[in-house]
Amino acid sequence: MSCCTPDGSCSTTATPATAAVEGVTTVYAVAGMTCGHCEATLTREIGAVDGVRSVEVDRAAGRVSVTTDGDAVLAKVVDEAGYELTGRAS
């Protein structure tokens, strides 16, 4: 939701809807990400796995935060996308 109106002015009364995401969140260390395309690829590929509720990729930190319904096999997906899942991040 944009705070800008069709005439180009800004509206500070707009409040974006926020959906609560429940589940188990795990942060993984991922090697090989070098650009925004890498972030988009991992977001798309991991997000397509059954049971994945949300994905947040932080290329600079080399971390991917994944919220799932439970067990989701991510190592294979990350590998197939051309990256290396190096373990859980602390």
Reported as a single tens digit per residue, the pLDDT across 29-73 is 999 999 999 999 999 999 998 888 999 999 999 999 999 886 556
**pLDDT value for 26:** 86
Structural tokens at position 29: 């260390």
- Whether 19 has a pLDDT exceeding 70, the answer reads no
Q: Which residue(s) pair with 41 in the sheet?
A: none
How confident is residue 7, by pLDDT bands cut at 50, 70 and 90? low
Q: For the chain, how far is it from start to end, CA to CA, in angstroms?
A: 33
**pLDDT value for 61:** 94
- Helix, strand, coil shares of the chain, percent, nearest 5, are 20, 30, 50
**pLDDT value for 34:** 92
How confident is residue 90, by pLDDT bands cut at 50, 70 and 90? low
In order of 6, 7, 47, 72, the CA distances from 88 in angstroms are 45, 47, 18, 14
In order of 8, 9, 10, 44, the CA distances from 41 in angstroms are 33, 34, 33, 5
